Structure 1
Amino acid sequence: MSQPSLSLVDTDPAELAVDAIVIGLHSQPDEGGALLPAAGAESIAAAFDGKLTSTLALLGASGAPGEVTKLATLGTIAAPLVVAVGLGDEPSGSAPEPETLRRGTGAAVRALAGSATVALALPLPDDEDAPSVLRAILEGALLGSYKFAGYKTKPQPNRREPVSALQVHVPDAADPAAAAEVTRAEVVARAVRLTRDWVNTPPNSLRPPQFADAVVAAAEGTGLQVEVLDFDELQAGGYGGIVAVGQGSEAPPRLVKLTYVPEGVESPKRVALVGKGITFDTGGISIKPAAGMWEMKSDMAGAAAVGATMLAVAALKPRVAVSAYLAMAENMPSGTAYRPGDVITMFNGKRVEVFNTDAEGRMVLADAIARACADGTDYVFEASTLTGGQVIALGKRIAGLMGSEAATELVRKAGDEVGEPAWPMPLPDEVRKGMESDIADICQTNANLDRAGHMLQGGVFLREFVAEGVEWAHIDIAGPSYHTGEATGYWTKGGTGVPIRTLLTVIDQLG
């Protein structure tokens, strides 16, 4: 689905001739739960002669965050429909938290599918927080309108197309700073939506060669340098982990490298992004249970996010040199699959004893991380759907975060800022001791097949392939990369695009 057009307006919201206008609604616990129109809705509330909130209350509105209530205006204002989205309790500051606005805007715009043009009259502060609040509203609107095109062969009689045009009310539509936020939001949302498309694509349509081709096609004309290694080149280059995982499939593995070099910047900081691109994960010889295995089409979400991040980098042009390494393979059981008990020589020369072929992500990532370090970098930020242990420990919304102190703190702060939280986890010595091998440099998992600290085992293993002096962060997005429930906020069912906005914020901060 195409992305909606986005524009700024400073016309009185009550006079905007659109299909629907979105306003914010607060609850007031100290006033017995009475409703309060949020800033930005003043002229609309006035047009209803003080009856707007009482009417919304009759329709069941409570002001709870993300709650959407629709009210026909019957000619009271120019738009035929007012949509009130709950923003929670009346804020003590000048505006609600950006993530509250981001989720509320996404919910409202998604609920307006079938409307052509929608205007947003939501609270914007007039202080230093204005850019981050506007950015949240813009991102929420564009991401909340996402819908995967799908593969249905018959027209759906009740299908409502997503909103095609969005207008955001601001104090001054000609403000260059606000216009810059629009441009950025369009670039970022396009990257997130593309990632969602890739993650939602069926695995028979996006095997490693097709995935690599899709990334190369998307990078065409962006100015990014592109390198693709096929199976023979990977084998000749010593990428033992990627080769081992991919050799069980008739669809051979790929390593895609994308490179951005800023113009006119002398000795820029160097950032490497690494993404796990397992286009489908059966577990290999250590095969997974059948229940829920279909979700393993999303095991390439890290590579999808990293690849799309690079497209945004090419458009935003930060003052940082950024390279991305997308390790793509399909983990299948066959006569050529790698086995428990194998010893694999990795790109950096270390030898790994394999105990579980379903711990394949760390194998391909280790090669990609080692290659990134060999090419030369100051930072490595890696994203992967690595372990079920992340979901057990932190749930479906919070990523696991491991690595060096400086890099993990950058990611943590950026994630908090953009609504993609990540929680720092330790890398204990005893976990590393449990991965000692009798015959190789390290075991791929705990030598006693103990799943205790499973998420931490992944981080400990990957640390072995980070060069000395390189700041690094491993972001385990097993939960937040794929949303299995009903749509909520600006997340729709399926791929989410996490952690693109975090990575872009980190790159901005390093520039």
Structure 2
Amino acid sequence: MSSNDFLDRSRGPRIDLTTALAKDDDVLVIGLLTPANGDSGTAEGASSPTLVTGEDLVDDETAEALAAGLHALGATGAAGEVHRLPAPSSLPVRLVLAVGLGGADAVTDDGIRQAAGNAVRALDGAGTVVLTLAAAGEDPQAALAAAAEGAYLGGYRFDEFRSAKSAPATSAPAAVSLLVPAKTKEAKARLAQAVITAEAVALARDFVNTPPNVLCPAEFAERARAAGAAAGLDVEVLDEQALADGGYGGIVGVGQGSSRPPRLVRLSHRPAKPAASVALVGKGITFDTGGISIKPAANMDQMTSDMGGAAAVVATVIAAARLNLPVAVTATVPMAENMPSATAQRPGDVLTQYGGITVEVLNTDAEGRLILADAIVRACEDEPDYLIDTATLTGAQMVALGTRTPGVMGTTEFRDRVAALSQQVGENGWPMPMPPELRADLNSRVADLANVTNNRWGGMLAAATFLKEFVADGVAWAHVDVAGPAFNTSAPWGYTAKGGTGVPVRTMIAVLQDIAEHG
């Protein structure tokens, strides 16, 4: 797939607004809320879930018919439930799909997002789908945005490398309409923002899902360059010679074991009167064998995701431009392939990072922090107000927080701000400390720093402590470790497909929007 084909690829269904069902609509998606204690339900006396159908969409007779059908199917309204039933003759659709939202007092925007994703994932082969889920939220505009994001991402598919032999017989719905009382200017604006956000997440997913024999550093850099240029960003790409000449010892050292040399890409969104400046840095290891400190063979294929941080920051700066955010944003993206060979760096080598700090490489599988260090120093030369770096950095993140919860470290106030916004958008980042006593464990016998500690304790926190050494004084900084959350190795759920997830794109977009509003 060429760079142009990559840019032109459809990544999700078309999302629009509607105020009523039309005769050519195919499926109506309604929400179900679990019944409150004591609610009376069907004639048999069992409690039944409450239907969320939108204002005046169905009459009482139709609602009763739907409720009876759902009762027969055993529907409870629990989050994650999906039930299909033939549409009553009073509706101009062939099928009704009911998705659980949980209890009425516990419905969140992300619950709506998850339900919309569940619905669209269940509707391969459907035509036009009408979603009523925005009616379940307390804030109609926030609920509309959540439903749009969930529907788009639930419809995401990555089939670029399937031949006709294994290509799916059906595809995700081509169009999803969100039922709203009126197509107001505010509703249209929130929909447009939500679609841009979802498209950014899907772009990051595509980068991660593209196999490493295709997405080598040079190809990743070219696709990032093309996508950035199409969005109107200023783009700079440093090749291996420019990196060597510029003193980027971390990127060069990690990449020197591969026949496919490293790159550094810088993408800048520069509005006329920015409210603040933000630097984004993302780890772009296009494949990680561990180098000389080679990884076990089991599950090494998952290391195609080791550029998930880079994918996220590329997608985020493109979204910033498309949203026309009044914040200056520059993504500095180091890209390398970590391979063992006669030219690979060895345990015991000493690198001189960009900016002059020397690092003893005790473990070549702790390579992400080496390329991030170069990029962080370069990003800080722009004197940003804020810096966010993100990476699939440590297995310790999953040990501490599991596979769905990013760890957020950094300067206290900004760390907490990033984590809170991450939780608001459903990516659920959690603030973590950087205990000062960990710094001594990074002392080297021969250099300024070692790239790992001499013990296995607090590995995620120690990695952040290493990165802190390269962050300029006075910069509000957050480090987001997404080793588990960036790549879903289990079955799809909600709006999350198997493979690349796009985490933490929505977190970073939310932070940029918050900075644009509050500074």
Deviations 1:356-382 (A, max 9, x none): 000000000000000000122111101
Deviations 1:216-248 (A, max 9, x none): 111223220000001111011111100000000
2:108–2:137 Cα contact (<8 Å) kept: no
1:41–1:122 Cα contact (<8 Å) kept: no
Q: Percent identity?
A: 47
SS of corresponding position for 2:283:
strand
Q: Could you tell me which residue of structure 1 aligns to residue 342 of structure 2?
A: 335
In the alignment, the residues of structure 2 paired with residue 42 and residue 227 of structure 1 have an alpha-carbon distance, to the nearest angstrom, of: 54
1:45–1:52 Cα contact (<8 Å) kept: no
Which amino acid in structure 1 is aligned with residue 450 of structure 2?
A: C
Which amino acid in structure 2 is aligned with residue 210 of structure 1?
A: E
- Displaced runs of 4+ in structure 1, greater than 4 A? 155-158
1:101–1:136 Cα contact (<8 Å) kept: yes
Q: Tell whether 2:304 aligns with 1:297.
A: yes
In the alignment, the residues of structure 2 paired with residue 126 and residue 63 of structure 1 have an alpha-carbon distance, to the nearest angstrom, of: 15
Structure 1 residues 123, 225: closer, same or farther in 2, change over 3 A?
closer
Q: Could you tell me which residue of structure 2 aligns to residue 62 of structure 1?
A: 76
**TM-score scaled by length of structure 2:** 0.93
Residues 57-456 of structure 1: pairs in structure 2 closer than 5 A: 57-91=71-105, 96-124=107-135, 129-156=139-166, 159-173=169-183, 175-263=184-272, 265=273, 268-446=275-453, 448=454, 450-456=455-461
Shift of 1:406: 2.1
In the alignment, the residues of structure 2 paired with residue 162 and residue 396 of structure 1 have an alpha-carbon distance, to the nearest angstrom, of: 26
1:378–1:471 Cα contact (<8 Å) kept: yes
Structure 1 residues 368, 58: closer, same or farther in 2, change over 3 A?
same
In the alignment, the residues of structure 2 paired with residue 71 and residue 27 of structure 1 have an alpha-carbon distance, to the nearest angstrom, of: 18
In the alignment, the residues of structure 2 paired with residue 224 and residue 372 of structure 1 have an alpha-carbon distance, to the nearest angstrom, of: 16
Which amino acid in structure 2 is aligned with residue 490 of structure 1?
A: Y
SS of corresponding position for 2:58:
helix
Q: Identify unmatched segments of 5+ residues in structure 2.
A: 1-8, 40-45
Q: Could you tell me which residue of structure 1 aligns to residue 43 of structure 2?
A: none
In the alignment, the residues of structure 1 paired with residue 382 and residue 229 of structure 2 have an alpha-carbon distance, to the nearest angstrom, of: 23
1:222–1:314 Cα contact (<8 Å) kept: yes
Q: Tell whether 2:491 aligns with 1:482.
A: no
Shift of 1:42: 5.5
Deviations 1:439-461 (A, max 9, x none): 11111100x2x111111111000
Q: Identify unmatched segments of 5+ residues in structure 1.
A: none
In the alignment, the residues of structure 2 paired with residue 493 and residue 371 of structure 1 have an alpha-carbon distance, to the nearest angstrom, of: 34
2:134–2:178 Cα contact (<8 Å) kept: no
Shift of 1:71: 0.7
Deviations 1:339-366 (A, max 9, x none): 1101111112111111000000000000
SS of corresponding position for 1:213:
helix
Which amino acid in structure 1 is aligned with residue 173 of structure 2?
A: V
2:288–2:339 Cα contact (<8 Å) kept: yes
In the alignment, the residues of structure 2 paired with residue 259 and residue 101 of structure 1 have an alpha-carbon distance, to the nearest angstrom, of: 33
Q: CA RMSD in A?
A: 1.6
Q: Tell whether 2:505 aligns with 1:505.
A: no
Structure 1 residues 289, 18: closer, same or farther in 2, change over 3 A?
same
In the alignment, the residues of structure 2 paired with residue 399 and residue 415 of structure 1 have an alpha-carbon distance, to the nearest angstrom, of: 9
In the alignment, the residues of structure 2 paired with residue 154 and residue 39 of structure 1 have an alpha-carbon distance, to the nearest angstrom, of: 39
In the alignment, the residues of structure 2 paired with residue 157 and residue 345 of structure 1 have an alpha-carbon distance, to the nearest angstrom, of: 48
Deviations 1:445-494 (A, max 9, x none): 00x2x111111111000000000001100000001100011110000100
Which amino acid in structure 2 is aligned with residue 7 of structure 1?
A: D
Of residues 235-244 and 405-414 in structure 1, the stretch that sits farther from structure 2 once superposed is 405-414
In the alignment, the residues of structure 2 paired with residue 60 and residue 151 of structure 1 have an alpha-carbon distance, to the nearest angstrom, of: 39
In the alignment, the residues of structure 2 paired with residue 158 and residue 472 of structure 1 have an alpha-carbon distance, to the nearest angstrom, of: 44
Q: Tell whether 2:497 aligns with 1:492.
A: yes
